[in-house]
Amino acid sequence: MFKRTLLVLSLVLLAGMAIAACGGGNDVVVIEPGEPIHIGYMLPTSGGASVYGESAIGAMNVLISQRGQLLGHDILLTGEDTECSAEGGETAAQRTVADPTIVGVIGTTCSSAMTAAMTTMSESGLTVISPSNTSPALTNPDETWQPGYFRTAHNDLFQGAIAAQYAIEELGASTAAAIHDGDPYTEGLATAFTDNFTKLGGTVTTTEAVNKGDTDMRSVLTTVAADSPDVLFFPIFQPEADFIVAQSVEIPGLENTILFSADGSFVAPFAPSAGQAALGMYFSGPYVTGDKEDTFQADYLAANGTVPPGPFGEHAADGLGILLNAIEAVAEVDDDGTLRINREELREAVEATTDYDGITGLLSCGPKELVPGVTFRGDCATGEALGVFQANQAWIDSEDAYPPDVLWTP
């Protein structure tokens, strides 16, 4: 009796797996008349990085309501929470590829989530455009990159370079230390910073690391303080970055060290949480300017009732714009309005995007040789939209004063 149950169970399981496998192999998405074009997102909607997810979703909704219909179909946006972790990225990827109606995906926010999701997403045939992954490894075919992945955020090779340039040329620093948290984004950016800092003639005293979840930073700060570096670059997230800023005032040897963080903690709640110790610290991060940006900010405010709580909303809107244009280009429309979208052709159309006139600038998604001898794939942005910011008293007093005005652009 028991054996038979077991047999039936395993057969059911086998059948389920076979069906799932078929689902994964569908390479043409068919959209019947009256059905929406389904775009998925994989963004953090919980935890410290949820401000990025919120900004991206808000921005995409603005674009969708402006576009109205595409080829006679509504645009539907649904998504999965990736948190800001490898596990979250993996889970979100599994759930996204299981939905055969999804045409393309906007995500992820965190490089760690994308690193974990890359293989699943690429094998599914879907096109993924990230608004804010910045880890250099993600678009390097020798490291993490796999077909189908694109991003509208800058590669951190650019951000690391401008942070190092600002530290040396504008702050007059000659020594620097860096702290990351082992995440592909933080480690990639810390390395890009230290490499460029050394290249520009500076000395890197230490590269240290903390764990996500640590609350006591005194021990790592003590290690850093032993050399009293001019600049401490820590491109990590909340809440670990808050602890570093707040506890740095206690550590002898860091009195004259300039604190410098990056877009990972350049979010509205950061300065009020880190407190008075954040006054005057620097951030590198995306800086978007121009008429399109002014219109975007006004539209976002009108639609969502607030300004974007974090950066990269513009990048999400541009990513979605590129995706929608590519869909428009490759979709075959039947007489009754049925759409047929070949996923492989969609990838090719996104890659062929040239000079897309977005909020963040002119974007082209083809291969680029960013480092001599290494051709990066999927980088749509080339790092023009970056700047350096400084925390002021108004922002510490209230997150409504975010973001502070840009201080410097390369």
Q: For residue 184, which of 224, 129, 140 has the smallest C-alpha distance?
A: 140
Q: What is the C-alpha to C-alpha distance for residues 37 and 324, in angstroms, rounded to an integer?
A: 10
User: Among 35, 143, 214, 348, which residue interacts with another protein (rule: CB under 8 A)?
Assistant: 214
What is the rounded distance in angstroms from the CA atom of residue 259 to the CA atom of residue 241? 10
Cβ distance to another protein smaller for residue 271 or 380: 271
**Cβ contacts of residue 127 below 8 Å, gap of 6+?**
104, 105, 148, 150, 323, 326, 343, 346, 347, 350
Closest by alpha carbon to 258, among 159, 162, 156, 174? 174
| Between 149 and 266, CB nearer to another protein | 266
Furthest-apart CA atoms within the chain: distance in Å: 80
CB of 127 to another protein, least distance (A): 29
Burial of 246 (0-12, 13-18, 19+ CB in 10 A): middle
Does 50 participate in binding another protein (rule CB under 8 A)? yes
Q: What is the C-alpha separation between 282 and 272, in angstroms, rounded?
A: 15
Smaller CB separation from another protein, 10 or 46: 46
Pick one of 8, 22, 28, 226: the residue that binds another protein (CB under 8 A): 226
Q: Which is nearer to another protein, 140 or 273 (CB)?
A: 273
Q: Which of 131, 196, 130 is nearest to 159 (CA)?
A: 196
Minimal distance, residue 209 CB to another protein, in Å: 4
Between 82 and 273, CB nearer to another protein = 273
Any idea which residue has 């880890």 for tokens?
135
* Closer CB to another protein, 354 or 398, in the complex: 398
- Using CA atoms of 179, 181, 185, 191 in order, give the dihedral in degrees to the nearest 10: 30
Partnered with residue 357 across adjacent β-strands are 362
Binding mask 192-211 for another protein (x = CB under 8 A): ---------------xxxxx
| DSSP 3-state percent helix, strand, coil across the chain (nearest 5) | 45, 20, 35
273 forms part of the interface with another protein (CB under 8 A): yes
Q: Is 80 in the site for another protein (CB under 8 A)?
A: no
Given 146, 222, 228, 382, the residue binding another protein (CB under 8 A): 222
Determine which residue in the list 147, 272, 337, 410 makes contact with another protein, applying CB under 8 A.
Answer: 272
Residue 103, classed as helix, strand or coil, is: strand
For residues 233 and 176, the answer to whether their CB atoms sit within 8 Å is yes
Stretch that binds another protein, among 124-132, 140-148, 162-170, 245-253 (CB under 8 A): 245-253
- Of the candidate residues 200, 246, 307, 406, the single one contacting another protein (CB under 8 A): 246
Positions in 127-146 near another protein (CB under 8 A): none
Binding to another protein by residue 242, rule CB under 8 A? yes
Residue 261 within binding range of another protein, rule CB under 8 A: no
The interface region with another protein, picked from 145-153, 246-254, 316-324, 376-384 by CB under 8 A, is: 246-254
Residue 384 vs 399, nearer CB to another protein: 399
Site string for another protein, 148-187 (x = CB under 8 A): ---------------------------------xx-----
Using DSSP, state whether 92 is helix, strand or coil: helix
Length of the chain: 410
Footprint of another protein (CB under 8 A): 45-48, 50-51, 181-182, 207-211, 213-216, 218-220, 222-223, 226, 238-240, 242-243, 246-247, 250, 252, 269, 272-275
